[in-house]
Amino acid sequence: MPNIQQIAQKYFEKQHIANIQNLNGHIIVTLMDAPENSQTADALKQELLSHQEVQKATIIFTRKKIPAQTAELQKWNLKNIKHIIGVASGKGGVGKSTTAVNLALALANLGQKTAVFDADIYGPSLPTMLSFENTPPVSYDGKTFEPFENFGVKAMSIGSLIERDTPLIWRGAKACGAIEQMMSETNWGDIDIMVIDMPPGTGDIQITLSQHLNLDGIAIVSTPQDVALIDAVKGVNMFEQIHTPILGIIQNMSYYICPHCGEKTYIFGQNGAKNTANQMGIKFLGDIPLDISVRQNADNGTPIVAAEPDSPLTKAYEDIATKILEMLKK
């Protein structure tokens, strides 16, 4: 393997090279505060790819951590909620929302009073997965909402207020305002853990939630494939820059088990998220296999943890929930 550090320094100054990772021949060079010159980045990639040992090269531009607020931002009015965790992903399509819902149910199975909030405002899926689609929320006083309660967890989603096929064409400020209103004007009652299903990517909503809530940490969901892991790394870096703790990485769709012969097939690659977590020095929370019953039950409004409480899939979610509980107790 060539000396990646020396090659990178031919194109960017040493002080800007924050990190270099080698994921089985996939070289990821993370730059800090470097001028974002696409031509220079492309030239670096081409030189890296000229070496036989390098299968793929990615250049990531980042900035220094946002300084901690000298004056504390006003926190949203959420009462009687002991812990709040977020479930996030660097990109869509990795099973983040399904993971968030089943994780909430797994926490409830472990004796926690659990709520789940749908902050994925442009693609709300909790109403479908928790069987309250086309059911408007109830308000007894005309000022506050009563949460939906199915399968032992309380839930709220903007999706309960709009038609299924209606897109929300809102800019960041309006979307964040709607999230604050729904969260703070819902009668949650006493809650041990609230799970927030965050939007995919790195944007206004994630930053706003991190600044205005006392988040105990973020669980990042990724599949094992390189294209998802690149964005997962960006997600971890963003939350670290805004001083939000990272609970760890969950590897979803980690492998497929043939129902006939029992053989494991690593459709999206093997241990990519686990290796990335180890290289970044963050906790690996566990594997969730690729199984059609997870998808079918989510679409039918009966999450796998509720539909098949004794299945290996449910145990996988409960194992992750147990690790998170242990971290929250510290």
Closest C-alpha among 20, 235, 200, 212 to residue 95: 200
Contacts of 322 (CB under 8 A, 6+ apart): 110
Which H or E run contains 319? helix 312-329
The CATH number of 4-62 is 3.30.70.2210
Contacts of 21 (CB under 8 A, 6+ apart): 27, 28, 30, 276, 279
Beta bridge partners of 290: 256
What the block records as the tokens of 104 is 């909430």
pLDDT in tens, the chain (330 residues): 889 999 999 999 999 998 898 888 899 999 988 888 889 999 999 999 999 999 999 998 887 755 554 445 688 988 899 999 999 998 898 999 999 999 999 999 999 999 999 999 888 999 999 999 988 889 998 889 999 999 999 999 988 877 777 777 777 788 888 899 999 999 999 999 999 999 998 888 999 999 999 999 999 999 998 888 888 988 998 999 889 999 999 999 999 988 888 898 999 999 899 999 998 899 999 999 999 999 999 999 999 999 999 999 999 999 999 999 999 988
Do 4-62 and 81-329 have matching folds?
no
Which H or E run contains 211? helix 204-212
Domain ranges of the chain: 4-62, 81-329
Closest C-alpha among 215, 226, 124, 220 to residue 165: 124
Q: Is the dihedral of CA 168, 170, 173, 178 positive or negative?
A: negative
The domain 81-329 belongs to what CATH superfamily? P-loop containing nucleotide triphosphate hydrolases (3.40.50.300)
Name the pTM for this structure.
0.79
